[in-house]
Amino acid sequence: MRVVVTGSSGRLGRTLSTGLAASGHTVIGADRAPIELPGVDVREADLLDERATEALIAGARPDAVVHLAGIAVPFSAPERDILLANTSLGHTVLAAAARAGVGRVLAASSPTVIGYGTPGWRASAVPIDETHPREPSNAYALSKLVIEETARMFSRTAAGAYGWFRPCYVVSPEEWAGSPTQQGHTMLERLDDPALAAVSLFNYLDARDAASFADAWLAAPPEVVDGEGFFVGAADALARRPVAELWRDLVPGLGPDADGLTGTRPVFSIEKAAERLGWLPRREWRSELAASTTESRAS
């Protein structure tokens, strides 16, 4: 397929773009801060510019668009700026795709849309799946709710299949090797202090597994993905101890259902993606950290 990936220079976009290219797709990256990516035709574009975005998408004649561009970290800019930037980007890119008659459009949402992070938050059930109510508690999460609804709107009104995914805390290959993560600390620090990973309910996702998810999403029959959203995370929790032993002190909002999260079981369910798309993550922190430690010792 010909696939436009917006935000191709980002933490997630870099690996997702090169991963789709490696699986045989023709990938056109679009970012306002372009970087070279192997096998990807990268274009510079400010996707808040409606005309430039329309020209880029219509000119690329893609079969699919994967929309990732945006402000990716809650509270990293004033709340209003995050809301306006992310919702404008979402509408501009999806509307341009609809006008160009693109067959498939996948937009990045976030697990934060369900509202964890505030003291009063309570999980409706654990493990958390796509039936959990959406109760955003900041402008970033609210912008993701709007992006999900924008995808649903185009799913109803445009010809193609429109859907979204909620990637868990993305870990790029270099971050296993010690580069700082989105929050500024390393993966080892995030594991050594469980309070750091508790903020995102111990979730995570290797960026290469995000690429294989996008590939599976693109390959699925349109009726399976149209108007649908998927949690996309690792098969285990990002914690050295079972979540069942950690939640009372660190995330009481998970409630007693979390006693069932024994062993390495994660808080978020990825059953929907597994059942409907046949997708399963292949990377786990134990093996990825061990592999990067061995590599750095050998070099």
Ligand X SMILES: NC(=O)c1ccc[n+]([C@@H]2O[C@H](COP(=O)([O-])OP(=O)(O)OC[C@H]3O[C@@H](n4cnc5c(N)ncnc54)[C@H](O)[C@@H]3O)[C@@H](O)[C@H]2O)c1
Nearer to ligand X, 70 or 136 (CB): 70
Cα angle, residue 174 at apex, residues 168 and 175 outer, rounded to 5°: 50
- x-marked contacts with ligand X along 122-161 as a string, rule CB under 6 A: ----------------------------------------
40: exposed, middle or buried (C-beta count within 10 Å: 0-12, 13-18, 19+)? buried
Judged by DSSP in three states, 272 sits in helix
Q: Of residues 222-251, which lie at the interface with ligand X (CB under 6 A)?
A: none
Q: 292 is written with which tokens?
A: 């990067």
Residue of 19, 21, 31, 96 interacting with ligand X (CB under 6 A)? 31
- Give yes or no for residue 10 binding ligand X (CB under 6 A): yes
Q: CB of residue 103 vs ligand X: minimum separation in angstroms?
A: 21
Residue of 3, 4, 5, 12 interacting with ligand X (CB under 6 A)? 12
Which H/E stretch holds residue 208?
A: helix 207-219
Nearer to ligand X, 203 or 264 (CB): 203
Nearer to ligand X, 7 or 263 (CB): 7
- Give yes or no for residue 48 binding ligand X (CB under 6 A): yes
Judged by DSSP in three states, 101 sits in coil
- x-marked contacts with ligand X along 53-72 as a string, rule CB under 6 A: ---------------xxx-x
- The 8 Å CB, 24+ separation contacts for 48-53 are 48/85, 48/88, 48/89, 48/92, 49/92, 50/92, 50/95, 50/96, 53/92, 53/93, 53/96
- Give yes or no for residue 47 binding ligand X (CB under 6 A): yes
Q: How far is the CA of 39 from the CAs of 22, 47, 60, 132, in angstroms?
A: 8, 22, 16, 38
Residue of 116, 162, 164, 169 interacting with ligand X (CB under 6 A)? 169
- Give yes or no for residue 167 binding ligand X (CB under 6 A): yes
As a whole number of angstroms, the distance between CA 297 and CA 172 comes to 20
Question: Residues in the site for ligand X, rule: CB under 6 A?
Answer: 7, 9-13, 31-33, 45-48, 68-70, 72, 89, 108, 110, 167, 169-170, 182
